[in-house]
Amino acid sequence: MGKKKEFRIPDKVYYWLMILPAVILVFLFNTRTWPGILAAFQDFIPVKGWYGSKWVGFRNFRIFFMQPNSLGIIRNTLVIAIGKIVAVQCMAIAFALMINEVRNSKLKKAIQTFTYLPHFVSWVIFATILKSILGTDGMINMILNNLGMEKVAFLGTASIFQPLMIITDTMKEFGWAAIIYLSAITGIDPGLYEASEVDGASRWQQTIHVTIPGIRYMIVIQAVLHLGGVLSAGFDQIFNMYNTLVMSNADIIDTWVYRQGIVSMNYGVGTAVGLFKGVIALVLTVFAYWAADRFADYKIF
């Protein structure tokens, strides 16, 4: 650093002052709740606190992992959650790129507004609509019937339940997820487009060589941030749509925890599952951070 004549507060002091309020607030309102994680290893009785409750080792974890179907539940959770992340993000990116090509601004705004609306409809209502459309007497089966095809019990067939959850969630969420990509696209330096135009690039080539690289970092970061959610497959959706016939393919960790909670008000089991989810997410995030750094030379944060 160059010499300064007058006294100047070092930049690092500014940096610390800028960051301290956030650190303190996070510490006060989140880090201080961490002792609660100990409940995962206790027969937790809230009034007795973490000191008074009985220690039970890994019993709370065993309750989950000793379920005859616990592996199936984890598999369902992973398939549905990863499927959703991939599908929603891909659809959102494709949508953002497509809408970027629309030049009629009224049309553009209308389409954008319509597509983000379903995000605000609750799954209770959404499920009602879907059940009616997909039921054996629903719209789709009527069409199939008219075409002379066999009726399909969409909601009662285990093998198609998972794709169905992924597709319906994508329909509901892609418009909202695209907002972040739209803002990233807006942030791309227009100079880059002008330059490529001078080079005679077509719109398609511009998309491939300018737009996508321009939002690549956002794609990576979204992927990494969503890794934290690979064990959360969307309780509301599954809970409102599953039924006995598809149970083997539909039961996810969160629905299991919910049903477990009905049997007993056991906070330990819920906390144990939360801890398990957190640890998995941490491992995945660290791995993704390392991989992005190592292979793409990109620091996520």
Partner 1 sequence: MKKKMTAGHVIIIAVLILLALICLYPMWYTLICSISDRVHVEAGNVWLLPKGINFASYRRILSDELYFSSFLVSVKRVAVGCTLNLLLMILTAYPLCLPQRKFPAARFIKWFFMANMLFSGGLIPSYVLMRQYGLFDSFWAMILPGAVPLWNIVLMVNFFRNIPYELNESVTIDGANPLQILFRIYVPLSKPSLACMFLFQFVGHWNSYFDGLMYINDRMKQPLQTYIYQLNVQIDYAIMSTEDIIALLQTSNKTLQAAKVFVALIPILCIYPFIQKYFTAGMTMGAVKG
Partner 2 sequence: MKRKLLSMLLAVSLMAVMMAGCGKNDTSSGSGGTTQSPAGTTAAGTKEETAAAGETATAEGTQATDVASLTFGPYNWGVPKDIDYSQPYNKRFDGLEYTRISATGALDLPEGMSIDDNTETWLFESTTGLKTKTEWVAAAGSAFNNKANQSIASGEIPDLMNVGMTQYYALIKAGLIADLTDELVNGNHPTLQKLYGMSDNIALDTLEVDGRIYGIPRVNAQFDSSPLIWIRKDWLEKLNLEEPRTLADLETIALAFMENDPDGNGQKDTYGIPVLASFSAQKGGDGFLCDIFLNVGGAAPGIWQMQDDGTVIYGSLMEGAKDALTLLNGWYEKGIIPSDFATWGADELKETVGNGRAGIVFGPWWAAWSVLSSNVNLDTAAEWTAYMLPEHEGDPIRSAAGNPVSNVFVISNDFEDPSAFVYAYDMWCTTEKLPTDYENFVEVNNAYNPMPTSVSPKAYLIPIRTMLDKVVGSGEMSTMEEVKQACLEEAGVSLDWVVEGAFRAKNVYDAMEAGEDPRAVTVDDMDPVATYQQYLQWWAGPRALAEADPEAVMTVFQGTTDSMEMYNSFLSTYETEAYVKMIMGNTDGQSISDYFDAFVQSYLEQGGAAITAEVQEAIGK
Binding residues among 17-36 for partner 1 as defined by CB under 8 A: 18-19, 21-23, 25-26, 28-36
Separation between Cα atoms, residue 178 and residue 89, nearest integer Å:
8
In the complex, minimum distance from the CB of residue 280 to partner 2, in angstroms, rounded to a whole number: 21
Give residue for tokens 């937790």: 44
3-state secondary structure of 301: coil
Contact, 177 vs 92, CB < 8 A?
yes
Q: Does residue number 259 form part of the binding site for partner 2 (CB under 8 A)? A: yes
3-state secondary structure of 117: helix
Contact, 195 vs 214, CB < 8 A?
no
202-to-96, 196, 197, 198, 211 alpha-carbon distances in Å = 18, 9, 7, 10, 12
Separation between Cα atoms, residue 27 and residue 30, nearest integer Å:
6
Q: Which stretch binds partner 2 (CB under 8 A): 91-99, 165-173, 174-182, 261-269?
A: 261-269
In the complex, minimum distance from the CB of residue 256 to partner 2, in angstroms, rounded to a whole number: 6
Question: Of these, 48, 55, 58, 121, which contacts partner 1 (CB under 8 A)?
Answer: 121
Q: Which stretch binds partner 1 (CB under 8 A): 140-148, 154-162, 184-192, 233-241?
A: 184-192
Q: Does residue number 156 form part of the binding site for partner 2 (CB under 8 A)? A: yes
Question: Of these, 87, 155, 184, 231, which contacts partner 2 (CB under 8 A)?
Answer: 155
In the complex, minimum distance from the CB of residue 15 to partner 2, in angstroms, rounded to a whole number: 11
Q: Does residue number 28 form part of the binding site for partner 2 (CB under 8 A)? A: yes
What H or E segment, with its residue span, contains residue 80? helix 70-99
Closer Cβ to partner 2, 181 or 242, answer by number:
242
Closer Cβ to partner 2, 80 or 269, answer by number:
269
Separation between Cα atoms, residue 232 and residue 243, nearest integer Å:
19
In the complex, minimum distance from the CB of residue 282 to partner 1, in angstroms, rounded to a whole number: 5
